[in-house]
A = this chain, B = another copy of it.
Amino acid sequence: MDVSHHLTTLLPHDPTASSGGSTVISITVFFTLLCACIVIGHLFVENRWVNDSTTAILLGLCAGFVTLLISKWKSSRILVFSDQLFFLYLLPPIIFNAGFQVKKKQFFQNFLTIMLFGVIGTLVSFCIISIGSYFLFKEIMTTTFSVSQDYLAVGAIFSATDSVCTLQVLSQEETPLLYSLVFGEGVVNDATSIVLFNAVRKLDFSDIDTLVVLKLLGTFVYLFFTSTAIGIGVGLLSAYVIKTFYFGRHSTDREVAIMMLMAYLSYMVAELFSLSGILTVFFCGILMSHYTWHNVTENSRQTTRHSFATISFIAETFIFLYVGMDALDIDTWKASDKSVGEMIVASGILLILVLVGRAAFVFSLTNIVNFFKNRITTRISLRQQVVIWWAGLIRGAVTIALSYEKFTRSDSTSSKNGSFMITITIIVVLFSTVVFGSVTKSLIRAIIKQQMNIRCSEDIDPAGLEDLHLLFEEHGEDDGHLVNSGLLTRHSSSTIHNLWRKFDDRYMRPVFGGRGYVPHSRF
């Protein structure tokens, strides 16, 4: 792991430790903390104010503080945050697992809404944060960015929602609709953020005209479709390979290994072509759970389902621990010449802009969506809108990674401004994860419960009926097309779904296997 490379800086002032020795120390410390996180997270699992992210981030902060004490405030760099470690090794398993375990029906039924949130929503949020920071920073701060392009970068960085934390605060079982909306948006948001971020870095914004906007749109469409296509391609290839060779005949290890390797490969291939690896690996996960997973032996099914979840869980905990420990990097704190007050004001401004930016698109876009929905049962209620708004406020490791990429490499900003931006990014991320994150669970529970109570007193049960309806369909899916025939076909999305079912049964399954597939020994 690259970890070793970056962890070696944990105790750099120990003169007795050789290079290999200090790696061992760092890994030991880090893995012990991971174990502690798991135990503490388990003990507080029923506490509504604490979740795994906050536990890990606070434990990371404590560990960073202790290390700082041990090194007598000299060890300025506790852990160097490496965007490569994050993007290449930690993020792919998390997003793959999300795709692998996602309720596909739910996801595709809300596909248009998700796209609207992910693309238009991110753009709205990007504009509000960029423009807002441009005016407010000039108003309040003593020194500002010399290049206006940097404000656009800030907009792109703080528009990136944290899909990882969303997975932790929303439950797919309790609130399937909200989960699929917020999480789906997070995945699409990634593609948008990449386009925006690269556009900000490359394009000449001094003369924005229609051509540039069209070019941006074209790039996004290209990115979205090619990324998705690669994910689907690798997913289908894995299904085909496993169905054809039937590795399980000799060993389950080969099946599980090839699933893991191909999933990871899909991400890497997308990154190779500078596409959105997150989109690719997400769709690869969906395809693998739809076809490949059914083609392997029962043992491999059990193993993959749980081991993908475990790896994802470890990676998530790792990231938050990492972010927590990284926050006390006093080199960055010292390098900035701004006062603590200025930092807090700047962070506050950004937090407010994030809140406003998200509110602006969530409440407007959902009303547009509701307007086009002819059935009241499928509309998104105001309470649900509040949850969607709130759950996507958390800024996490993606924001930190982008901030590092922008403000440590870029030549346009002075290193002092860079350090300042990194510091306030960390403050925003810590605050939003710890405060927003711990409130979300209670908020959702309160809102959903209240809604339930209202529903019970009324006779009409819009969202509840929908949930039941979806549960029914999901169940029908599991029983293999049995339930989903007469009653539910009224729905327009159900008819599209049925068309897909027919296509799937006639053309895809004979080639790629899938549910109900029984491998026949050909030897």
Nearest-CB residue, chain B, relative to A306: B303
Most chain B beta-carbon neighbours within 10 Å: one of A32, A38, A269, A317: A38
**Known contacts A253-B306, A262-B35; A20/B313 CB under 8 A:** no
Let me know if B307 and A245 touch, CB within 8 A.
no
- Cα-based distance from A300 to B5 in the complex (angstroms): 32
Let me know if A265 and B2 touch, CB within 8 A.
no
| Chain A residues proximal to chain B, CB less than 8 Å | 1-2, 4-5, 20-21, 23-25, 27-28, 31-32, 34-35, 38-39, 41-43, 45, 84, 88-89, 241, 245, 247, 250-254, 256-258, 260-262, 264-265, 268-269, 271-272, 299-300, 302-303, 306-307, 309-310, 313-314, 317
Let me know if B302 and A268 touch, CB within 8 A.
no
Q: Which residues of B contact A314 (CB under 8 A)?
A: 257, 260-261
Closest Cβ of chain B to A18, distance in Å, is 10
**Known contacts A42-B250, A254-B42, A306-B300; A265/B31 CB under 8 A:** yes
Sorted from nearest, which 7 A-B pairs have the closest CB atoms?
A: A303-B306, A307-B307, A256-B310, A253-B313, A302-B302, A28-B268, A1-B1
Q: Which residues of B contact A247 (CB under 8 A)?
A: 38, 42
Copies in the complex: 2
- Cα-based distance from A23 to B85 in the complex (angstroms): 11
- Cα-based distance from A247 to B37 in the complex (angstroms): 13
Q: Which residues of B contact A264 (CB under 8 A)?
A: 31
Among B268, B269, B313, contact of A257 (Cβ-Cβ < 8 Å): B313
Q: Which residues of B contact A299 (CB under 8 A)?
A: 302, 306
- 16 A-B pairs in the complex with CB atoms less than 8 angstroms apart: A1-B1, A2-B5, A4-B84, A27-B268, A28-B269, A35-B261, A38-B247, A42-B250, A42-B254, A45-B250, A251-B313, A256-B306, A257-B310, A257-B314, A260-B314, A303-B310
- Cα-based distance from A245 to B38 in the complex (angstroms): 11
- Cα-based distance from A448 to B4 in the complex (angstroms): 46
Q: Which residues of B contact A309 (CB under 8 A)?
A: 252-253
Let me know if B313 and A254 touch, CB within 8 A.
yes
Closest Cβ of chain B to A318, distance in Å, is 10
Let me know if A306 and B252 touch, CB within 8 A.
yes
**Known contacts A41-B254, A303-B310; A268/B24 CB under 8 A:** yes
**Known contacts A42-B247, A261-B35, A313-B253; A24/B306 CB under 8 A:** no
Nearest-CB residue, chain B, relative to A250: B45
Q: Which residues of B contact A253 (CB under 8 A)?
A: 306, 309-310, 313
Among B24, B34, B261, contact of A38 (Cβ-Cβ < 8 Å): B261
Let me know if A28 and B265 touch, CB within 8 A.
yes
Closest Cβ of chain B to A145, distance in Å, is 25
Let me know if B88 and A258 touch, CB within 8 A.
no
Nearest-CB residue, chain B, relative to A297: B306
**Known contacts A28-B272, A31-B268; A307/B258 CB under 8 A:** no
- Cα-based distance from A250 to B84 in the complex (angstroms): 33
Let me know if A261 and B4 touch, CB within 8 A.
no
Q: Which residues of B contact A20 (CB under 8 A)?
A: 84, 88
